[in-house]
Structure 1
Amino acid sequence: MKSYNVRIWKISTRKDGLNNHMVRWVVEGKVFTEHFSTWELADSFRAGLKKAAQNGEAFDTATGMPDSKSRTHSTVTWYAHACDYVDARWSKVSGRQRISIAETLAAITPLLVRDRRGAPNPQVLRSALYQWAFNKQHRDTDKPHEIAEALVWITNASVLVADLAEYDRITTALDACARKMDGTAAAPSYYSRRRRVLFNVLRYAVFKKRLVKNPLSEELDWKAPETEVCEEIDPAVVASPEQVHELLTAVSYSGWRRGDRLVAFFACMYYAMMRPSEVTALRREDCTLPEKGWGRLLLSGSAPTVGTKWTDNGQAHEQRGLKGRPRKAKRIIPIPPVLVAILRAHMQRHGVAPDGRLFRTERGGVLYKSGYVRTWKTARALALTPSQAASQLAKRPYDLRHAGVSLRLNAGVPATQVAQWAGHSVEVLLKIYAKCIDGQDHVWHTMLDGALGIDLNQADQDKETKEE
């Protein structure tokens, strides 16, 4: 809140203490003080306050500072502050979070400049920011000449952090959060993730006294662009049990070196509703596989693909806990006999890794996303009709998880139970996953025909009774 109701008192001096010269002033009835080691410093500060009041500047009732002092409070540029934030958070966050921070800052930073004279190619600048500037481990490594020049330019062109208090600057940053690289509107979840990063970067600026307050803490007269992206799962991508069976069969002969090793991998995503990173981390001791009947999986971790540049040990995968859960949390999933049989056959045929992992490459390494995605594409072309293969049906391996969740919901399993097995909140489950299975309309038609048939038969009987 701003106010012009300002009174500035005389400098008061004490004879003891280091900072014994005090400037005191009142903004809208609230008293503020600053202490200085010499009378000259105190007088200079007081003169600045008086000049701002005489020039008709508004004073902030929260900080007591005039607008001019709030804007010049920090001489740190946005680019330097963003690098500082990355370094401060690096050791505290996962590889995926590091990537999210770098991606967001690489989208925002090119727009927060004083002018664009001499600006490098946008793609070069974005690459320089994402792969070098906002990657603590990679920042000081050798760079191509054009990358180094791009970073010199942004260093000199970046606006001050304090400028983000201005409406035009902060809304420019929000616009960058709400749009994809091609300029189209991003999905709401994508924008929300970026906005959270921006909010935390600005909160860090307040903590470092580079901003008086976080501009995103107050309601802004700004609205994210409308998007046609639907975050609910398209029913067209959800495969039926029969289609999944055909796809898993096709996987077994989609490459003699890799295909047969991945049948159980994809089966876990469907029959156990597991994420790919959770299947990658699955170990023999996590599985209870009886000879008959239902089994059980006890999940305790995941191994998401991050990339060697974003992990501390230089590995492409990092060992993490379950998504959205405390580090040592576990999740129990009952698995049907069909998956029990598939997993038992997989271990009998391929064994397990020395550390107990069920799924690995032919040489014992961790599975890469690029490898199993190629196998899935081959399997789709073999198992589906040409029209289905050209559609969105089971387009990605992750769609198997969607199909597994939808299968249970449509079978009548309570949403609370399905959410617990899938590792989701009930709210997210019902909003995102509760969709019909492709090709299952005949089930609902039969149920409705039965209901309508009872009503029609009763109507015919009533009509015959009246005629008699």
Structure 2
Amino acid sequence: MSNRTNSAPGGAHNSERPDGSEERTFSTDVRVWKVSKVSSKSAPYQLRWIVAGKRRYASFPTSALAESRRSELWQAMRRGEAFDVESGLPESEVRQAEAAAVAKAQAKADPTWWEFSREFMKRRWRTAAAKTREGFADSLAAAALGMLKDAAGAPELQAVRRAVRWSVVPAHESEEPPPDLEKVCAWLAENSLPLSALKESGIAEDVHYRLAYRLDGKLAAKDTYKRRRRCFNAAMAYAVQKGYLDENPITNIERPATAARGSIDPRVLMNAVQGREFLTAVSYVGSVHRNRGRRLVAFFGCILYAAMRPAEVVGLRLDDCYLPEKGWGVLTLRETRPVSGKKWTDTGERHDKRGLKMRDPEADRPVPIPPVLVAMLREHVKEFGTAADGRLFQNERGGLVGTSSYWRVWQEARPLAFPPHKVASPLARKPYDGRATCITDWLRSGLPVAEVARRAGTSPEVIDRHYAGLVDNSEEENNRKIEKTMGWGPSGAE
């Protein structure tokens, strides 16, 4: 077998790389050998060539592939093309590879919103609670509606939101999208705007609009907007840290309007009689066999008489309850079990397990409870016992009490507890209204705002913002207190 070579005349020159880095050395002193066979099972066909005295090799699994590559090198030589001494490749291939590398680097420095959303979520997933993860996903999905190219075949906005929420879950990175989202995900991967588009005021304003408004064009609730903007700001802080952006593009954009409610609507609050009648009505919900309602009487009692959040009641354990036969007791709250959905939790369960809201993970919150609630809890334990892990409340199968379960019982109890005109009113529409009732009762009893905030597990600022207006109906009583303190008589004269 002949080992003849093809060669080109010598000569060399230097050339600076496109990115301004060190120069490459190119030479036309090239010799290409015939394809030879070597003792290799995976790649037995070897191509050899020499550039400026440096020998190069390439191995191939088939003879056809080896000959094809040899032909490419030979054609470059015939065109008079110089070869890179460092890599042994024709100059055209070197330039093409460098251009691709530059483009890849530029793309990495300016990812699309589709790419950035997944990158950011992957970074924050490990340290975020399930509810926080879901909040990030909602914010990224809302912003995605303002980061779309004006291209044909655009999917419906609702589908875009669902696709982004699915794609940002790190566990889905190696999975194929669900059938109903497959085309939407493919379209978004090709037609999401780059992150740098946020530098344009029009794009930034559109993204901000998507954070503040619902898909039907109505203003989102204030808390929804605040959560979305807070999560979006966290994403922008990460973008600045990575060098994708110089600053947060919506920092100076104000919310166009407000759907905020100041004080809690006083119509949602139950008085003492209504509260007792409501809990009695709860006990009648469901069949006697299943005890759906009776299982939740004390559950709702914790909300109505201890201002506990439902997720805190779900996680309450008997070991954390001081329930004396007489007098006041104490519930020491240590954890919360919010419902976030299986894809957002680390355990794959619907309920996440977290520390208390607005507290350090290891902090607890002792809440004194009145004798009426002590009696309810003692009776509950006597009738239903506890779950295997010591939780005070459990469903019929011993599992966690689900949100849909206690919401359904709450709604079924309202018509049993209230007359029709009250059922049609905002009175006690949802479980959180029971918490608002308790906080208001504490304030009206004269408890200091700071102590109310401590017991309720919130801040004095929140209490003042949402509840201050609910105690303004005691103006005459307050006036009498001022008169007494100042030494004035009923007529206002000293």
The alignment's TM-score, normalised by the length of structure 2, stands at 0.74
Structure 1 CA distance for aligned equivalents of residues 390 and 154 of structure 2? 52
Which residue identity does 1:232 align to in structure 2?
S
Give per-residue Cα distances to partners, 1:4-62, cap 9 Å, x unaligned: xxxxxxxxxxxxxxxxx9xxxxxxxxxxxxx964269xxxxxxxxxxxxxxxxxxxxxx
Which residue matches 2:156? 121
Match of 1:92 among 101, 107, 127: 127
Counterpart contact for 1:304–1:319, Cα < 8 Å: yes
Give per-residue Cα distances to partners, 1:245-286, cap 9 Å, x unaligned: 110000001113210000000000111110001100000111
Determine whether 1:80 maps to 2:115: yes
Counterpart contact for 1:161–1:210, Cα < 8 Å: yes
Structure 2 CA distance for aligned equivalents of residues 444 and 255 of structure 1? 44
The 3-state SS of whatever aligns with 2:330 is strand
Which residue identity does 1:105 align to in structure 2?
L
Structure 2 CA distance for aligned equivalents of residues 457 and 74 of structure 1? 75
Which residue matches 2:422? 388
Which residue matches 2:261? 230
Structure 2 CA distance for aligned equivalents of residues 445 and 380 of structure 1? 33
Mapping for residues 412-423 of structure 1, pairs under 5 Å: 412-423=446-457
Mapping for residues 345-356 of structure 1, pairs under 5 Å: 345-356=379-390
Counterpart contact for 1:73–1:211, Cα < 8 Å: no
Tell me how far 1:177 sits from its aligned partner.
0.8
Which residue identity does 2:22 align to in structure 1?
T
Counterpart contact for 1:138–1:309, Cα < 8 Å: no
Tell me how far 1:446 sits from its aligned partner.
7.7
Determine whether 1:274 maps to 2:305: no
Counterpart contact for 1:406–1:436, Cα < 8 Å: yes
Counterpart contact for 1:78–1:112, Cα < 8 Å: yes
Identity across the alignment (%): 39
Rate the CA distance shift 1:451–1:159 in 2: closer, same or farther, 3 A.
Answer: closer
Tell me how far 1:76 sits from its aligned partner.
1.6
Counterpart contact for 1:282–1:299, Cα < 8 Å: yes
Tell me how far 1:309 sits from its aligned partner.
1.6
Which residue identity does 1:413 align to in structure 2?
L
Rate the CA distance shift 1:163–1:72 in 2: closer, same or farther, 3 A.
Answer: farther
Counterpart contact for 2:309–2:435, Cα < 8 Å: yes
Tell me how far 1:450 sits from its aligned partner.
11
The alignment's TM-score, normalised by the length of structure 1, stands at 0.78
Determine whether 1:334 maps to 2:318: no
Match of 2:392 among 355, 358, 377: 358
Tell me how far 1:224 sits from its aligned partner.
1.3
Structure 2 CA distance for aligned equivalents of residues 394 and 388 of structure 1? 9
Which residue identity does 1:432 align to in structure 2?
H
Tell me how far 1:75 sits from its aligned partner.
3.7
Which residue identity does 1:357 align to in structure 2?
R
Which residue matches 1:101? 136
Determine whether 1:110 maps to 2:94: no
Match of 2:281 among 227, 250, 255: 250
Mapping for residues 138-177 of structure 1, pairs under 5 Å: 138-177=172-211
Counterpart contact for 2:208–2:250, Cα < 8 Å: no
Structure 2 CA distance for aligned equivalents of residues 363 and 300 of structure 1? 24
Counterpart contact for 1:186–1:229, Cα < 8 Å: no
Which residue identity does 1:243 align to in structure 2?
Q
Determine whether 1:430 maps to 2:414: no
Tell me how far 1:77 sits from its aligned partner.
1.0
Which residue matches 1:30? none
Comparing 427-436 and 327-336, the one that deviates more: 427-436
Between structure 1 and structure 2, the one with the greater Rg is 2
Which residue identity does 1:250 align to in structure 2?
A
Counterpart contact for 1:73–1:162, Cα < 8 Å: no
Rate the CA distance shift 1:73–1:345 in 2: closer, same or farther, 3 A.
Answer: closer
Determine whether 1:193 maps to 2:213: no
Structure 1 CA distance for aligned equivalents of residues 156 and 173 of structure 2? 20
Which residue identity does 2:403 align to in structure 1?
K
Structure 2 CA distance for aligned equivalents of residues 212 and 436 of structure 1? 45
The 3-state SS of whatever aligns with 2:378 is helix
Count of aligned positions: 393
Structure 1 CA distance for aligned equivalents of residues 491 and 224 of structure 2? 54
Structure 2 CA distance for aligned equivalents of residues 450 and 113 of structure 1? 62
Mapping for residues 24-63 of structure 1, pairs under 5 Å: 37-38=21-22
The 3-state SS of whatever aligns with 2:153 is coil
Counterpart contact for 1:252–1:259, Cα < 8 Å: yes
Comparing 200-209 and 334-343, the one that deviates more: 200-209
Q: What is the Cα-based RMSD across aligned positions, in Å?
A: 2.9
Tell me how far 1:342 sits from its aligned partner.
0.6
The 3-state SS of whatever aligns with 1:137 is helix
The 3-state SS of whatever aligns with 1:211 is coil
Which residue identity does 1:254 align to in structure 2?
V
Give per-residue Cα distances to partners, 1:399-438, cap 9 Å, x unaligned: 100000000101111111111111111111111133538x
Q: Runs (4+) of structure 1 moved beyond 4 Å? A: 443-452, 455-459
Which residue identity does 1:330 align to in structure 2?
D
Tell me how far 1:448 sits from its aligned partner.
7.4
Structure 1 CA distance for aligned equivalents of residues 109 and 194 of structure 2? 7
Relative contact order higher in (CA < 8 Å, ≥ 6 apart): 1
Structure 1 CA distance for aligned equivalents of residues 481 and 450 of structure 2? 29
Tell me how far 1:312 sits from its aligned partner.
1.3
Give per-residue Cα distances to partners, 1:326-346, cap 9 Å, x unaligned: 100010111111111111111
